[in-house]
């Protein structure tokens, strides 16, 4: 069974920043690594489910034309709304995933510290929704804590195993540390250097 909504509401009633996103170097560094791992400098439409209080959302909004943020917690969304009130390219939506996956298609989907709150069945449904709503040329980034979390049905490693199997997409990058896994998939296997003409495309010999 996936974690219930009242679990998150209780956390946010006790603190506006229950995971210390603003204070901990682990969280600050993780955001920097997340942004650096993106294969494109700018995206058209980004979807960030599980946006929490909007700390990562602020940075994502700088990298896209339109950002859709969602969370199951009404308290979290109000905090994110305050954090993002200066951004005109952001829309916020309260959703319970995977059943309330939003309409539309996206160039980037960011799953940060979200998927281990889902059980296997719900995660597989979320993966199906994510794959179906990803535009051609789009990317999916996932980043998850690897240490055990008592309340969570899945571990970070299990989440990434299911993501890789279920998405069926080329994996463009993978950062594995004791604390976290960060991976990026794409509908196309083209690397950053290949896209900028610095390296030959697959199947093409270099003439240099």
- Tell me the pLDDT tens digit for each residue of 179-197: 999 999 999 999 999 999 9
Q: Is the pLDDT of residue 207 over 50?
A: no
First to last CA, the chain: 56
Per-position b or e across 128-138, b if 16+ CB within 10 A of its CB = ebbbebbbeeb
Token readout for 185 is 């998939």
Token readout for 195 is 């896209």
Residue 4, φ and ψ in degrees, nearest 5 = -75, 155
Torsion of CA 47, 178, 121, 52, to 10 degrees: -40
Entry pTM: 0.92
Token readout for 88 is 């005109």
- Tell me the pLDDT tens digit for each residue of 90-124: 999 999 999 999 999 999 999 999 999 999 999 99
- Tell me the pLDDT tens digit for each residue of 7-58: 777 777 877 777 778 889 999 999 999 999 999 999 999 999 999 999 999 9
Residue 30 has a pLDDT of 96
Domains of the chain (ranges plus CATH)? 5-195 (3.40.50.150)
């Amino acid at each position: 069974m996936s974690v219930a909504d009242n679990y998150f509401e209780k956390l946010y009633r006790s603190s506006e920043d229950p995971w210390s996103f603003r204070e901990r170097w682990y969280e600050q560094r993780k955001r920097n690594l997340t942004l650096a791992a993106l294969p494109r400098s700018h995206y058209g439409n980004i979807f960030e489910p599980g946006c929490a209080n909007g700390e990562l959302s602020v940075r994502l909004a700088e990298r896209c034309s339109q950002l859709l943020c969602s969370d199951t917690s009404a308290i979290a969304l109000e905090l994110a709304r305050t954090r993002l009130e200066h951004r005109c390219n952001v829309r916020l939506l309260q959703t319970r995933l995977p059943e309330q996956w939003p309409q539309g298609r996206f160039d980037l989907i960011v799953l940060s510290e979200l998927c281990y709150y889902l059980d296997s069945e719900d995660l597989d449904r979320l993966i199906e929704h994510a794959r179906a709503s990803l535009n051609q040329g789009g990317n999916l980034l996932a980043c998850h804590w690897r240490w055990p979390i008592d309340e969570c049905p899945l571990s970070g490693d299990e989440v990434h195993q299911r993501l890789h199997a279920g998405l069926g997409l080329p994996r463009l990058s993978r950062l594995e540390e004791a604390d976290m896994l960060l991976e990026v998939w794409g509908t196309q296997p083209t690397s950053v250097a290949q896209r900028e003409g610095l390296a030959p495309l697959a199947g093409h010999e270099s003439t240099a």
